[in-house]
Amino acid sequence: MRKLLTLLLIFMIFITGCGEKKGIKIKNTLSLSTSSDPKSFNPIIAKETSTTLITGFIFEGLTRIDGVSLEVNPSLAEKWEVDKTGKIWRFYLRKDVYWNDGEKFTADDVIFTFNQLIYNEEIPTSSRDVLTIEGKKIEVKKIDDYIVDFILPEKFAPFLQLMTQEILPEHKLEKSVLEKKFTSTWGVNENVENIVGTGPYKIKEYRPGEWIILEKNPYYWKKDKNNIQLPYIEKIVFLIIPDPNMAILKFRIGEIDILSIRPQDYYVLKPIEKFGNFKLYDVGPSLSSEFISLNQNLDAKIPEYKKDWFSDINFRKSIAYSIDKDSIIKNVYAGFGTYQDGPMNISSGFFYNDKIIKYRYDLNKAKELLKKSGFWWKNGDLYDKNGNRVEFTIITNSNNFERIQIGNIIQNDLEKLGMKVNLLPVEFNTLVNKLTITKDWECVIIGLTGGIEPHGGKNVWQSKGQLHFWDFGNKRNYQLEKEIDFLFEEGTKYLNPFERKKFYDKWQLIVSDYLPLIYTANANVIYAIRNKFENLKVSVYGGVLHNIEEIKIKEDENL
């Protein structure tokens, strides 16, 4: 009866919403949502998806990856060639590209992006991590205004995939670099007219906490087969909606066109799918991951005895065995999920290693591991060998209800081991600041975006990577860190993918044993999409909007 009443209420809200929206459609506009404000509009220093979600529409690289076929295709470069050594790559740039302020795009912008931004040691960027080969920079040389050479120190298998790196405008940013102000340039308080890219869209308006509006780049270089300038859609509106339940409501009443939904929302929307004129797409396990991590940094602002717990492999493994992943899949992901035990999963395809160590719920095994490290119990409470009560706080981002649910499950699971665990949701940008700058945290539940190319994670897994937020300077695990560094360097030297896979298989095995990150479960990617679009190509890797410039809104929807 309760379920029936809920569905009836949804039906009534939907009817009401449709009536309110009738006749008030904004012509040729795509409406989306984002759960938080961007932290910046600067893609070079971005460390969070709240930023890259927006900048992905504004900037382009020399290459792009097809979201369905996964092939590397031309973008700002119309073609390229490589010499017999495999180390010298020549890119021929398009001559019809303009920045969205009307300035011409040339080789100078490419040289500037790599030599003055990415390889500038004063600028903190994850791009430098993945574009450094055995500790050496790639030499980037201008041949003429439309030809650039990249001279690699060694053969580098993922090179073309990494040339999706965003190119930024020299004429807008060189002054900020010379004045050493680049890291504060293009922040959220910047005049949006100053944020200049070559991509299909530009920022028209940003209102913190309300919306971000993108409009068509009037100088965009791409055209369709009929010589019509792309993109077809004139505007994209991102509504900033921290509450996923509110996002669902706005989708039902027609204020949002495409929504990445939580698995539990599938059962809310499925009954009204046909009537609501939309379709649900379950495209399989996400390439992203959700995990718990314990602060092992030597300079962390936490008691030394807690650092000792967190750096103890038996302690970490006891937590891995005590997490009830079945409960997470059932209660958080509504059955639309899979186990995850390492940094890649089955959606990653070829490079995924299925032979890693797998952790399944086993409290007895967890307790045995704790005993090995001298932990003991009194009245059901867990103490270390020095008599310290095991208590710590897990932080996660407050705008992610699924992570909070996962936190509640883990909190309950760890209490069964006698641990006292506090769960503290915080604002997402605050969380990122704690992880990467202040190191003022004990335990975190967070996620990382993933991909099909392992080297794309070098900024996380290399010991000096920009997003390597554990073991900074921790000599207790020096050999393991050194070995992972070695594997990431060697894995790029072989053009044969089967040779490369041997290195990345070993990396995944080490991670599953060493557990710097303790993985939970992986949700399926599910989209709710209105039946008003043409040329959609939905996939796990590319999502919905990887071919945004080709997507059309049906003509009758623009009336």
pLDDT tens profile 332-360: 999 999 999 999 998 888 999 999 999 99
pLDDT value at position 13? 40
Higher confidence at residue 80 or residue 8?
80
Task: Summarize pLDDT for 273-282 with one digit per residue, the tens.
Answer: 999 999 999 9
User: Region 276-292: what's the mean pLDDT?
Assistant: 93
Mind listing the pLDDT tens digit for each residue in 203-220? 999 999 999 999 999 999
Q: 232 near 70, Cβ under 8 Å?
A: no
pLDDT over threshold 90, residue 4: no
Which domains, and CATH codes, for the chain?
25-57+179-284+525-558 (3.40.190.10), 63-177 (3.90.76.10), 289-523 (3.10.105.10)
Position 40 confidence tier, pLDDT thresholds 50, 70, 90: very high
Phi/psi-derived region of residue 516, left when phi > 0, alpha when psi is between -120 and 50, beta in every other case: alpha
Average pLDDT of the residues in 510-529: 94
Mean pLDDT across the stretch 537-547?
91
- The per-residue pLDDT of the chain, averaged, comes to 90
Instruction: Give the residues across from 526 on adjacent strands.
Output: 261, 282
The model's pLDDT over 103-150, given as tens digits with 9 standing for 90+, comes to 999 999 999 999 999 999 999 998 998 899 988 999 999 999 999 999
- Answer yes or no: are the C-beta atoms of 183 and 45 closer than 8 Å: yes
Calculate the CA 483 to chain-centre distance.
Answer: 25
Predicted local confidence at residue 308, as pLDDT: 93
- In this prediction, residue 439 carries a pLDDT of 83
pLDDT value of position 9: 40
Confidence of residue 557 (pLDDT cuts 50, 70, 90): low
pLDDT at 428: 83
pLDDT greater than 50 at residue 22: no
- Helix runs in 332-427, H state only: 363-372, 401-415
What is the spatial distance between Cα 342 and Cα 477, in angstroms, rounded to a whole number? Answer: 18
User: Would you place residue 476 in the very low, low, confident or very high pLDDT band (cuts 50, 70, 90)?
Assistant: low
DSSP β-bridge partners for residue 147: 92, 144
Q: What is the pLDDT of residue 368?
A: 97
Q: 503 pLDDT exceeds 80?
A: yes
Q: In this predicted structure, what is the pLDDT of residue 475?
A: 55
Give residue 6's pLDDT: 41
Cα–Cα distance for residue pair 128/132, rounded to 1 Å: 6
User: Is pLDDT of 256 > 50?
Assistant: yes
45-91 pLDDT, tens digit per residue, is 987 788 899 999 999 999 999 988 889 999 999 999 999 999 999 99
Task: Determine contact, residues 363/371, Cβ cutoff 8 Å.
Answer: no
For the chain, what percent of residues have pLDDT higher than 90? 74
Which pairing describes strands 289-294 and 552-553: parallel, antiparallel, or unpaired?
unpaired
Question: Confidence class of residue 556 from pLDDT cuts 50, 70 and 90?
Answer: low
Q: In the structure, what pLDDT confidence band is assigned to residue 1 with cuts at 50, 70 and 90?
A: very low
| Amino acid 12: pLDDT | 40
> What local confidence, expressed as pLDDT, does residue 477 receive?
65
Dihedral sign for Cα 400, 401, 404, 406, please.
negative
pLDDT at 471: 66
Q: CA-CA distance, 529 to 549, in Å (whole number)?
A: 17
pLDDT at 201 over 50: yes
pLDDT score of 17 more than 80: no
Rounded Cα–Cα distance for residues 61 and 54 (Å): 15
Give the helix/strand (H/E) hosting 169: none
Q: Which of 44-58, 158-172, 375-389 has the lowest mean pLDDT?
A: 44-58
Rounded CA-CA distance 343/112 in Å is 33
For 243, phi and psi rounded to 5 degrees? -90, 115
CA distances from 337 to 176, 263, 334, 389, 553 (A): 45, 8, 8, 35, 32
What is the per-residue pLDDT for 33?
95
